[in-house]
Structure 1
Amino acid sequence: MAFDLGVIGLGVMGANLARNFVDKGFSVAGFDVEAAKRERFLQAAASGRASAPPTMQAFVASLAAPRVVLAMVPAGAAVDAVIDSLRPLLEPGDIVVDGGNTRYGDTQARMLALEGTGLLYVGMGVSGGEEGALRGPALMPGGDERAWPRLKPLLQAVAARAGDGQPCCEWMGTGGAGHFVKMVHNGIEYADMQVIGEAYWLMRELLRMTPADIGRTFAQWNEGELESYLVAITADILSRIDPESGRPLVEVILDTAEQKGTGKWASQAALDFGLTAPTIAEAVFARTVSAAKEERVVAADVLKGPGGAFDGDPATLIEKIRRSLLAVKVCAYAQGFQLLQAGDREHVWNLPLAGIATIWRAGCIIRARLLEDIRSAYARDGELVNLMLDARFAATLAACQEDLRDVVGLAARHGVPAPAFMSALAYYDAYRSPQLPANLLQAQRDYFGSHLYQRVDRPGKFHTQWGLRSTS
């Protein structure tokens, strides 16, 4: 039997995605260097359409030509090792798909290294976690476009479906486009998780609400504009009780968040492109400061903050936090989509912005009701330079910005850290400002470094012989 495709790496993500293909009627060969993982895959798949050959040679030989090999291994050296093992076994026209969280520049470098071999290389973002891999993820493939006709029926069959039936999988573009889009997705994910965490913390610190009460609040919010996967799981998390201690489970989890690097990569890309993405970057920094737990415990006894409890109306503040959360989410998505546009300008991928919003509507971690409005915005105007300028989102921000100011002010006055809320407000205010204090900054640069400046009254570059004036 010649199998439709092969999956290398039978950890949870790889095995679940392979099972998804089997469930959709495809025959799948799975390979992993660990025999126990191969056996678990065969037991879970429980189908005559699944196999797990013991060697890489037998695995490749079992695939129908042109072969499709999906590598679900950790980014970095493991991907290179898979490619090195496959190269002498594959033939021109065979396809290798890297489905890990690979840095997009590495994908482009691997494509260059494979030029002339006849192998078609694809870097594919996969979002949805373990459950998504099994039941339907969002897939973002990009690379050698000659591979797409062969991959399309396979990938779209296992992808999630949005409410209108559209598969959450579409071709992103050449080179590292697929992994770039996934990187931006993860940057938005970092921001989204951080702002939800800040909303939770504001209710806990200012209103002394219990996790269960905050969870019920998030559950109510999930029935309206804020409906999303992350809001839904937040409500569930906050309702859970630790069976060992009897306390809310969230309160026995250490307050140190880990990260795998994609949020940092997104922030670095924004800096490389000269783009503003402060809420995404602040989400990365928030995880970094959370990791400094021992330092924070010491600092709590040394560094003093404001006193006094919040004495306003709780219901009013909860609604202000809800509306602030909506505004901050819009700002975070605006930053993410501007980053997509900047990458597109740099690499000429022709990224389908409306299509990206379309495939993020289901299956992925940042799936949300908001994405249908984002899809509509870019469908109306593919040249929209910033999501905040779309009439619908401009109206949303106008309606919510006063509440965001109030919440940020309360957070500052009561010493509650809310860096993502604060950065989003600063981003909004800076973007809507026709003038900024950068004129003084540029004068300073010219003063100490002769970097020149432009004038408001005529074109050209100018320099002033400043010199320190005598005060005598």
Structure 2
Amino acid sequence: MAQADIVLIGLAVMGQNLILTMKDHGFVVCAFNRTVSKVDDFLANEAKGTKVVGAQSLKEMVSKLKKPQRIILLVKAGQAVDYFIKKLIPLLDIGDIIIDGGNSEYRDTTRRCQDLKAKGILFVGSGVSGGEEGAWYGSLLTPGGNKEVWPHIKTIFQGVAAKVGTLRPLCEDGYGDMQLICEAYHLMKDVLGMAQDKMAQAFEDWNKTELDSFLIEITANILKFQGADGKHLLPKIRDSAGQKGMGKWTTISALEYGIPVTLIGEAVFARCLSSLKDGRIQASKKLKGPQKFQFDGDKKSFLEDIQNVPLLWLDPQLRTGVQAGIPMPCFVTALSFYDKYRHEMLPANLIQAQRDSFGAHTYELLAKPGQFIHTNWTGHGGSVSSSSYNA
């Protein structure tokens, strides 16, 4: 019997929370996952006692949907999306709707929209931003595609979308901002020699200024967070930052259109370089750099400079050019690459903690590489994590 208003495929943390949010707004949702045991687990735990229904096969799933059938995919970008579309096409009728809510590259969305239109099926690619808590309390939804879809999804999308006043934490998890914060953390830790709690206090203070933002807020919380052993968790996190494609695709598109998104590009490359962890460990033993630095200046003034201006502390030959206001992006990037590659430990552990805090993207511990862990940093999240992959 057709009873569900919409189906959601993909029961990682974003999918589960989005289902529960739609349920809270009065919609009957059918949950499905390629590993069907996850459906049973979800219905027996997080969705227990609700009107959320499940399905053990795509055929059963479709039979439970009202017309027009509306299906949201929250699966890994790329092949997984095309896999489900291929499986769904024979089960759908003209006018039915597929919504891709994952991190898909926009040209894939355009292709899918055109291909499915030829078959009479309506397609929308919709960003779902805001991470774990956004999916629960209200996400930033950015649908685009076949405009005929909107009347059929408007009520659901407007119901679960973030309202005015809640968008701030959803819009600021940019690659550039995260990298700048991590470089500030690196300066605090390795130049000023600040303790974790002192760094946390600095970020809390910054969050009361014009730097007030979601990322500054969670960074302060991450720096304060202690594990079950009573010790700070951040220093134990492996400094190899992941990414799911958005920054990379933005940079590629910017190059194609001639738009200089240099900050995003450098942030993407910083993550790529951080992932060369094994190579950096070897390089740290062979590549020469400045001797252990002992800062003897005014720490308070230095901290204010970090807050107010992204300062570059370079070799003397380049510092003069920077102080003279001469733009030297390639010189600076070359020196930065050398310095990053010769560091055994980079601040990418903070990026991983940030990603896990807002999106449950998991992290690895230095002591347990290859084992991906999710932490409930705020006490408001859950134990379910996103799948771990790099685009």
- Do Structure 1 and Structure 2 share a fold, with TM-score over 0.5? yes
Alignment of 1:183-198 (within 5 A): 189-198=174-183
Unaligned residue ranges in structure 1 (runs of 5+): 169-181, 325-403, 416-420, 429-472
TM-score when normalising by structure 2: 0.76
Alignment of 1:217-236 (within 5 A): 217-236=202-221
Aligned-partner residue type, residue 250 of structure 1: L
SS in 1 for 2:91: coil
Unaligned residue ranges in structure 2 (runs of 5+): 330-391
Aligned partner of 2:33 in structure 1 is: 32
Aligned partner of 1:203 in structure 2 is: 188
Q: Distance in 1 between matches of 2:328 and 2:155?
A: 41
> Residues 271 and 278 (structure 1 numbering): CA distance in 2 closer, same or farther, change over 3 Å?
same
Aligned-partner residue type, residue 72 of structure 2: L
Aligned-partner residue type, residue 58 of structure 2: M
Aligned-partner residue type, residue 3 of structure 2: A
> Residues 243 and 90 (structure 1 numbering): CA distance in 2 closer, same or farther, change over 3 Å?
same
CA offsets per residue over residues 272-312 of structure 1, 9 Å max, x none? 11110111111111112212223223323333223453222
Q: Name the larger-Rg structure.
A: 1
> Residues 226 and 239 (structure 1 numbering): CA distance in 2 closer, same or farther, change over 3 Å?
same
Residue 128 (str. 1) matches residue 113 (str. 2): no
Aligned partner of 1:280 in structure 2 is: 264
CA offsets per residue over residues 339-362 of structure 1, 9 Å max, x none? xxxxxxxxxxxxxxxxxxxxxxxx
Alignment of 1:116-155 (within 5 A): 116-155=118-157
SS in 1 for 2:260: coil
Aligned partner of 1:16 in structure 2 is: 17
> Residues 323 and 89 (structure 1 numbering): CA distance in 2 closer, same or farther, change over 3 Å?
same
Residue among 223, 226, 250 paired with 1:241: 226
What is the Cα deviation at residue 36 of structure 1?
2.1
Q: Distance in 2 between matches of 1:250 and 1:196?
A: 14
Q: Distance in 2 between matches of 1:70 and 1:136?
A: 16
CA offsets per residue over residues 104-148 of structure 1, 9 Å max, x none? 111111112112222110001111222221221111110001111
Q: Distance in 2 between matches of 1:288 and 1:260?
A: 12
Residue 298 (str. 1) matches residue 200 (str. 2): no
Aligned partner of 1:289 in structure 2 is: 273
CA offsets per residue over residues 68-120 of structure 1, 9 Å max, x none? 11111111121112111211221122111001111111111111211222211
CA offsets per residue over residues 409-457 of structure 1, 9 Å max, x none? xx21499xxxxx99x99499xxxxxxxxxxxxxxxxxxxxxxxxxxxxx
Aligned-partner residue type, residue 216 of structure 1: Q
Aligned partner of 1:316 in structure 2 is: 301
- Give the alignment's Cα RMSD to 1 decimal: 2.7
> Residues 145 and 47 (structure 1 numbering): CA distance in 2 closer, same or farther, change over 3 Å?
farther
* Contact 2:103–2:245 under 8 Å retained in 1: no
Aligned-partner residue type, residue 412 of structure 1: L
> Residues 62 and 211 (structure 1 numbering): CA distance in 2 closer, same or farther, change over 3 Å?
same
Q: Distance in 2 between matches of 1:48 and 1:189?
A: 35
Alignment of 1:251-290 (within 5 A): 251-290=235-274
Q: Distance in 2 between matches of 1:302 and 1:131?
A: 44
Aligned partner of 1:431 in structure 2 is: none
Q: Distance in 2 between matches of 1:219 and 1:18?
A: 33
> Residues 414 and 248 (structure 1 numbering): CA distance in 2 closer, same or farther, change over 3 Å?
farther
Relative contact order, CA 8 A, sep 6+: which one is greater? 2
CA offsets per residue over residues 176-228 of structure 1, 9 Å max, x none? xxxxxx9xx79x72111111000111111221101211011101111221111
| Farther-moved stretch of structure 1 (54-63 vs 99-108) | 54-63
Q: Distance in 2 between matches of 1:414 and 1:128?
A: 42
Give the number of the structure whose residues are more often helix, by fraction.
1
Q: Distance in 1 between matches of 2:35 and 2:278?
A: 38
> Residues 216 and 414 (structure 1 numbering): CA distance in 2 closer, same or farther, change over 3 Å?
farther
Residue 105 (str. 1) matches residue 116 (str. 2): no
SS in 2 for 1:207: coil
* Total equivalences in the alignment: 320
* Contact 1:5–1:69 under 8 Å retained in 2: yes
